[in-house]
Amino acid sequence: MRALIIDDEENIRRTTSALLEAMDQEVVAVSDGASALKELDQTHFDVAFLDLKLGVESGLDLLPQLLKSSEHLDIVVFTAFASFETAVEAMRRGAADYIPKPFRPEQIRQALAKIAKTRKLEGRVAELESRISHAVPDADMTTNEPIVQKVFDVAFKAAAMPANILILGESGTGKSVLARAIHDRSPQREHAFVTVSCPSLSRELLESELFGHTKGSFTGATSDTWGKVAHAEGGTLFLDEIGELPREIQAKLLRLLQEKEYERVGEAKPRRAKVRIVAATNRNLEEGVKEGRFREDLFYRLNVVALHVPSLRERKGDLLRMATGYLRFCAAQCNKRITGFSPAAQQVILQYAWPGNLRELRNVVERAVILTEGDQIDAGDFPEKVNRPSAGGAAATLRLGSNISLEELEKEHIRQVLKQSPTLDAAARVLGIDAATLYRKRKKMEP
């Protein structure tokens, strides 16, 4: 953590700084309130050690000003004039802890440990709230298919080890679900699971999101930001669609993997990071290496344990069970009593190819739950393309001048360009839009 010491005695500032630095904390020490507020305005601090008597200043009066300047700051009050009343008043005004002078190193260590534990719990609560707000069904980590069971067996064995994991598979096959299941079975499970979507931002913003930045390092950088690597400390950093990672950032990621070090944008100081890397892609990274789009050394560092998640058309034995799981979840969400699928609907589910994989299956089942008027899902509740998929696909029926909307025409054109392009950037150049816009359009198109 980065610590700010506020004390008017030089000896206290010097000894406390030495103590905190010996605990691997970053330290800045000041003697008065004005200097403390100036430091908080310029950079981010995690914790402040505040003396209650700063010459003619009152630390109690300064405390709310510090919290107003930096709302995520934890303040530990220490003073030689300790009393029950001042302790209560300091906590009432927002202090996180209270230490009487003279203090022992162990008291400082315990105060930092208490703050770290509280922050970890707050992070897990925020993560759980986020997962609940997205209202997703429980991950199904069971299977009737030997090929899938083998993937799960290897994944969960590897989860206990510190090795990097690369998850391969088509879009919508559940790579991110498997990544979280690995985290939940790993020694890192008590820490954060942090996701970075590699193609969702421009190169500059993606680098900042990953590694953080300092105030003023680029236009719009109005404050210090720590980045996803710092947030994932002790936990798992999941890099989704790693095949789209720009070459310029690949070298920095390689350094993180090899040396456990990184630098924030606009800062030359190396920082240590203890994170477990799990990456996923629907692209052929070996082809990317041959074509020069992906670094060979980074590929081998990521590819320690490779897991190929089969497509849904390869999991016929799991189809009805998965569809039933989505049915129960969606029916509960819609407050409907639906007992299951009719025999005709089951036949449709087993015969359709599901090119969008699990994502498409859930979308189709959810739509059917909303539209059905009976207590069973029938084949007629499914979209026409699921009931009667054409041999030529959508491309065979879409042409200029056809009786179709511009939106459908654009979607099919994007699909065809993506199929023919080696990378998302190449497809974006053909379409005349930036990669981030294409990524958003592609996500919107997915079932």
Instruction: Give tens-digit pLDDT for 98-109.
Output: 888 888 889 999
* Distance from C-alpha of 445 to C-alpha of 437, rounded to nearest angstrom: 12
What tens digit of pLDDT does each residue of 219-269 get? Answer: 777 777 888 999 898 999 999 999 999 999 999 999 999 999 999 888 888
pLDDT at 421: 72
User: What DSSP string describes 176-211?
Assistant: HHHHHHHHHTSTTTTS-EEEEEGGGS-HHHHHHHHH
Return the amino acid letter for 194: V
User: What percent of the chain has a predicted confidence (pLDDT) above 90?
Assistant: 49
Lowest mean pLDDT among 36-40, 47-51, 72-76, 405-409: 405-409
Q: Is 376 exposed, middle or buried (0-12, 13-18, 19+ CB in 10 A)?
A: middle
Distance from C-alpha of 102 to C-alpha of 98, rounded to nearest angstrom:
12
Asked if pLDDT for residue 131 goes beyond 60, the answer is no
- CA 334, 336, 341, 345 torsion-angle sign: negative
Cβ proximity of 283 and 231 under 8 Å? no
Question: Could you tell me the strand order of the sheet in which 193-197 lies?
Answer: 193-197, 236-240, 276-281, 165-168, 305-308
Supply φ then ψ for residue 338, to 5 degrees: -125, 125
**Which whole-number Å values give the CA distances from 436 to 97, 206, 443, in the listed order?**
45, 11, 11
pLDDT range class, residue 133, cuts 50, 70, 90: very low
330's enclosing H/E stretch is helix 316-333
DSSP H helical segments within 55-188, as ranges?
Answer: 59-69, 84-92, 105-133, 146-159, 175-184
Query: Is 59:30 a contact under the CB 8 Å cutoff?
Result: no
**Rg (alpha carbons) of the chain, rounded to whole number:** 27
The pLDDT mean for the chain works out to 86
Taking Cα atoms as reference points, which of 381, 275, 277 lies closest to residue 323?
A: 381
Query: In the structure encoding, which two tokens stand for residue 259, read together?
Result: 């040396």
Lowest mean pLDDT among 13-22, 68-77, 343-352: 68-77
- pLDDT tens profile 173-205: 999 999 999 999 999 998 989 999 998 777 888
Nearest 5 degrees, angle CA 127-CA 130-CA 132? 110
pLDDT of 397 reads: 44
> Does the pLDDT of residue 389 top 70, yes or no?
no
pTM confidence score: 0.67
Place of tokens 């302790």: 87
